[in-house]
């Protein structure tokens, strides 16, 4: 690298870094360019709030998919957030550092399992179980929520662990020295002090859940309708795009891009909320 | 008997390191006892034995006795949280919780199970008055404690302690993060608190030990070298090593 010199290296690195950022920008621009004109010409209210999705008839209302995404994601949070936060609290406050050094990487391995494998387990194990025990088709909001809830655990656990570990030890000592028990210290001082980091972890997990596609297609059943209960089949926004993109043309294709725009906006909002939570914490120190 | 605490043949090991070597020391009731000595001599470690804060550190072994009102605090029947309510601690750096002023002082009460709002308010007021903070803070009780100046934070930590009505207050270099004027205020406060509490203080600052304490112990390399009335130690030390230290030839 000597012939490039210090400045040359900097330029090369800058070029590589910029190409990564520009890929992101180009994707966003492309989706917006393809989708936004459709939203405007079809009418945003009709597009977002009408329940009729009949591409052949020229009807493109994504309300059922929005409702489905919201329910599946909220369900996933109900499963993943308490489990994840409890796990993080237990690992940081109640387990020796050594044990934690083994368990944390194991949990992070969960993030490395391909989503199709989660979906496969959902189809083979979870859906039949729901069908036989609770009724309905099995492929449902509930199945999607449980699978996604498990899939987002690594995100929630590892970010929560980082934020609980960054709580100064002097807070714990101060509390214990006042006669608080270990558990009182944990839930009255340590966890509240890590609150913004834990909230950021949950929001990032939520972003993952709402964007997840493959596992959800496999376990949620994909029926385009507003679910009446947790046991009904639903189709999420992501599933809608993936399922129909292969054969969509013309307006139909634009409508799918428009669905992508809606997803992009939701995820951008979630990420900036998480960013705000993290910055708020940084500002406190 | 006038000794609130009696330390008898106390040994402490961190792994292989012998940090306290057969230390004997009384802490007199309603007086201030200072522990002095160079860095790393074990004075903070000794102080933290008195409310069992060393229990939190992995690899610590303790033998010997620490008698509080004649009862060994290391015996199995002692509940550590109860012990720490009786023997409170003020730390080197002010460590108020990231809560409001009010909630900081009320914390110990809530932990102890007090739910009566008006009693909590009364105690908060009394404790803040006890730490000379009431006049400053009475209109700002819901202000975040971390926004206070450092010396007020440290006195808030003292107020937080007074709220749980301890019998003994341990202070681990309570003024090392404070400027001279703030230090003076905390020292005056200590002299007043002495009337109702038994105080043990670790300090680097020998003038401070001379100003506030009635009894002093000089420690070196984990041993209690000399122990006695502060005036005697400072004017007429019996051990040559103490003499070296207080005249500034050591440390």
Chain B: closest CA distance from residue A79 (Å) = 30
Chain B: closest CA distance from residue A5 (Å) = 48
Provide the pairing of β-strand B60-68 with B3-14: antiparallel
Helices A195-211 + A63-93 axis angle, to 10:
140
In chain B, which residue's Cα lies nearest the Cα of A169? B95
Chain B: closest CA distance from residue A232 (Å) = 45
Chain A: closest CA distance from residue B98 (Å) = 7
User: For chain A, how many structural domains are there in total?
Assistant: 1
In chain A, which residue's Cα lies nearest the Cα of B160? A178
Q: Find the angle CA(B41)-CA(B56)-CA(B186) to the nearest 5 degrees.
A: 60
Contacting A with CB below 8 Å, chain B residues are 51, 53, 56, 58, 81-85, 88-89, 91, 93, 95-99, 107-108, 110-112, 146, 157, 160-161, 164
Q: Per DSSP, what are the bridge partners of residue B224?
A: B219
Interface of A with B in 172-231 (CB under 8 A): 173-181, 184, 188-189, 192-193
Distances (CA, A) of B38 to A196, B95, B244, B250: 41, 24, 11, 8
User: For chain B, how many structural domains are there in total?
Assistant: 1
pLDDT attached to residue B234: 87
Residue A121 structural domain: 63-284
| Cβ within 8 Å, pair A284-B146 | yes
Short-list B121, B98, B109, CA closest to B161:
B109
pLDDT attached to residue A285: 42
Residue A132 domain-assigned (yes or no) = yes
> Helix, strand, or coil here: B194?
coil
Residue B101 domain-assigned (yes or no) = no
pLDDT attached to residue A5: 82
Pick from A95, A178, A283 the residue to mutate for testing the B interface (most B CBs within 10 Å): A178
**Tens of pLDDT, residue by residue, chain A (285 residues):** 556 688 889 999 999 999 989 998 999 999 999 999 999 999 999 999 999 999 989 899 999 999 999 999 999 999 999 999 999 999 999 998 889 889 989 988 888 999 999 999 999 999 999 999 998 899 999 999 999 999 999 999 999 999 999 999 999 999 999 999 999 999 999 999 999 999 999 999 999 999 999 999 999 999 999 999 999 999 999 999 999 999 988 999 999 999 999 999 988 888 888 888 877 765 544
Helix (H) or strand (E) holding A187: none
Which of B93, B107, B164 lies at the smallest CB-CB distance from A170? B93
Complex-level ipTM:
0.90
Residue B79 domain-assigned (yes or no) = yes
Short-list A184, A182, A90, A168, CA closest to B80:
A182
Residue A36 domain-assigned (yes or no) = no
Short-list A262, A233, A260, CA closest to A245:
A260
Which CATH number does the domain housing residue B91 bear?
A: 3.40.50.300
Chain A: closest CA distance from residue B60 (Å) = 15
**Which of chain A's residues have a Cβ under 8 Å away from the Cβ of B52?**
none
Residue B78 domain-assigned (yes or no) = yes
Helix, strand, coil share (%) of chain A residues, nearest 5: 80, 0, 20
| Cβ within 8 Å, pair B98-A175 | no
The residue whose two tokens read 């110990």 is B108
- In order, the DSSP letters of A2-49 are TTTHHHHHHHHHHHHHHHHHHHHHHHHHHHHHHHHHHHHHH-HHHHHH
C-alpha dihedral, A42 to A46 to A47 to A51, nearest 10° = -140
Residue B162 domain-assigned (yes or no) = no
Q: What gap in Å lies between CA A57 and CA B169, rounded to an integer?
A: 80
In chain A, which residue's Cα lies nearest the Cα of B92? A170
| Cβ within 8 Å, pair B164-A178 | yes
Which CATH number does the domain housing residue A80 bear?
A: 1.10.3720.10
Provide the pairing of β-strand B168-172 with B87-90: parallel
pLDDT attached to residue B178: 87
Residue B39 domain-assigned (yes or no) = yes
Residue B37 structural domain: 3-95+167-246
Q: What gap in Å lies between CA B170 and CA B221, rounded to an integer?
A: 21
Point out the residues of chain B with pLDDT beneath 50: none
Cβ burial of A174 (10 Å; 0-12, 13-18, 19+) is: buried
Q: Per DSSP, what are the bridge partners of residue B171?
A: B90, B201
Q: Write A225-229 long-range contacts (CB < 8 A, 24+).
A: A225/A64, A226/A51, A226/A63, A226/A64, A226/A67, A226/A68, A227/A67, A227/A68, A227/A71, A227/A140, A227/A141, A229/A136, A229/A141
Q: What gap in Å lies between CA B186 and CA B201, rounded to an integer?
A: 12
| Cβ within 8 Å, pair B81-A179 | yes
| Cβ within 8 Å, pair A174-B112 | no
Q: Is B212 within 8 Å of B35 (Cβ atoms)?
A: no
């Amino acid at each position: 690298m000597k012939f490039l010199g210090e400045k040359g290296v900097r330029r090369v690195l800058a070029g590589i870094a910029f190409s990564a950022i520009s890929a992101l920008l180009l994707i966003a621009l492309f989706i917006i360019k393809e989708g936004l004109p459709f939203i405007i010409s079809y009418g945003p209210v009709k597009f977002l709030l009408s329940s009729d999705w009949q591409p052949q008839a020229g009807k493109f209302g994504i309300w059922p998919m929005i409702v489905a995404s919201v329910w599946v994601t909220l369900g996933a949070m109900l499963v993943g957030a308490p489990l994840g936060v409890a796990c993080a609290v237990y690992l940081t406050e109640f387990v020796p550092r050594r044990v934690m050094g083994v368990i944390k990487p194991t949990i992070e391995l969960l993030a490395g399992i391909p989503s199709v494998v989660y979906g496969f387990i959902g189809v083979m194990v979870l859906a039949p179980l729901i069908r036989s025990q609770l009724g309905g088709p099995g492929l449902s909001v509930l199945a999607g929520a449980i699978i996604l809830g498990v899939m987002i655990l690594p995100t929630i656990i590892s970010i929560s662990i980082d934020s609980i570990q960054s709580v100064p030890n002097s807070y714990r000592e101060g509390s214990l020295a006042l006669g608080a028990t270990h558990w009182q210290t944990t839930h009255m001082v340590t966890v509240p002090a890590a609150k913004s980091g834990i909230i950021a972890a949950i929001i990032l997990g939520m972003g993952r859940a709402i964007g997840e596609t493959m596992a959800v297609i496999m376990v949620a059943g994909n029926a385009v309708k507003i679910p009446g209960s947790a046991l009904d089949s639903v189709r999420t926004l992501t599933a809608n795009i993936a399922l129909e993109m292969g054969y969509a043309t013309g307006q139909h294709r634009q409508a799918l891009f428009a669905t992508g725009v809606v997803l992009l906006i939701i995820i951008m909002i979630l990420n900036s909320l998480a960013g705000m939570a993290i910055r708020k914490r940084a500002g406190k120190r | 008997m006038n000794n609130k605490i009696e330390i008898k043949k106390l040994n402490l090991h961190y792994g292989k390191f012998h940090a306290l070597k057969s230390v004997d020391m009384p802490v007199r009731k309603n007086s201030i006892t200072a522990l002095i000595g160079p860095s790393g001599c074990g004075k903070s470690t000794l102080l933290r034995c008195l409310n069992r804060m060393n229990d939190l550190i992995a690899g610590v072994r303790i033998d010997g006795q620490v008698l509080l009102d004649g009862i060994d605090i290391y015996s199995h029947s002692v509940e550590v949280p109860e012990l720490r309510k009786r023997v409170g601690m003020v730390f080197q750096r002010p460590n108020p919780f990231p809560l409001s002023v009010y909630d900081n002082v009320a914390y110990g009460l809530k932990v102890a199970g007090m739910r009566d709002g008006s009693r909590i308010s009364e105690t908060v007021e009394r404790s803040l008055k006890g730490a000379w903070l009431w006049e400053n803070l009475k209109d700002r009780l819901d202000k975040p404690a971390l926004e206070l100046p450092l010396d007020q934070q440290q006195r808030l930590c003292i107020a937080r302690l007074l709220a749980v009505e301890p019998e003994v207050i341990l202070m681990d270099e309570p003024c090392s993060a404070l400027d001279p004027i703030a230090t003076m205020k905390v020292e005056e406060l200590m002299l007043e608190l002495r009337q109702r509490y038994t105080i043990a203080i670790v300090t680097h600052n020998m003038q401070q030990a001379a100003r506030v304490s009635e009894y002093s112990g000089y420690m070196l390399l984990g041993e209690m070298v000399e122990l006695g009335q502060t005036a005697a130690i400072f004017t007429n030390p019996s051990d040559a090593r103490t003499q070296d230290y207080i005249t500034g030839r050591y440390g």
